[in-house]
């Protein structure tokens, strides 16, 4: 029987630095480059949770989709079919990741994981 407590993950997205940082039990586990919203459709700032996940969602969403609990619209962390967009303010408010990165992240974090988006 495994007596270890499950890992407690938290994601912090810094829109100014174009980074997504994954914390495991309060310690920085890994950091990823991301694309964020453009000025006309900014990424929402605040505290959210991952409310749903999908593999191969189709369209421009790349290999994975992790929907956020934002009430101001439909936002998520997802892959991209445009890897050249990573590191830019270019999306309609979502957080874009390289497909290999979003697959890794999606496999690590469960639904309900806290996501903090900061400037």
Task: List the catalytic residue out of 10, 18, 56, 78.
Answer: 78
> Residue 35 gets which letter from DSSP?
B
Note the pLDDT of residue 59: 87
Cα 27 to chain centroid, rounded: 18
Q: Which CATH architecture has domain 9-118?
A: Beta Barrel (2.40)
Provide the 10 A C-beta neighbour count for residue 118: 12
Residues 20-30: what's their mean pLDDT? Answer: 97
CA distance 32 to 42: 19
Residues 16-33: what's their mean pLDDT? Answer: 98
pLDDT single digits (tens) 58-111? 889 999 999 999 988 899 999 999 999 999 999 999 999 999 999 999 999 999
Find the helix or strand (DSSP H, E) in which 106 lies.
helix 99-108
Note the pLDDT of residue 54: 97
Q: Considering only CA atoms, give the Rg of the chain.
A: 14
> Quick check: is 10 catalytic?
no
Top-confidence residue, 81 or 4 = 81
CA distance 18 to 20: 7
């Amino acid at each position: 029987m495994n007596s270890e407590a499950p890992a407690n993950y938290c994601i912090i997205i810094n829109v100014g630095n174009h980074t997504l940082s994954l914390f495991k039990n309060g310690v920085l586990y890994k950091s990823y480059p991301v694309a964020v919203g453009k000025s006309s459709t900014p990424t929402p700032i605040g505290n959210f949770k991952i409310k749903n996940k999908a593999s191969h969602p189709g369209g421009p969403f790349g290999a994975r989709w992790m929907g956020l609990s934002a009430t101001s619209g439909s936002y998520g962390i997802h892959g991209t079919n445009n890897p050249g967009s990573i590191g830019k303010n270019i999306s309609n408010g979502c957080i874009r990741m390289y497909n290999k990165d979003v697959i890794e992240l999606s496999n690590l974090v469960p639904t309900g994981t806290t996501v903090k988006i900061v400037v």
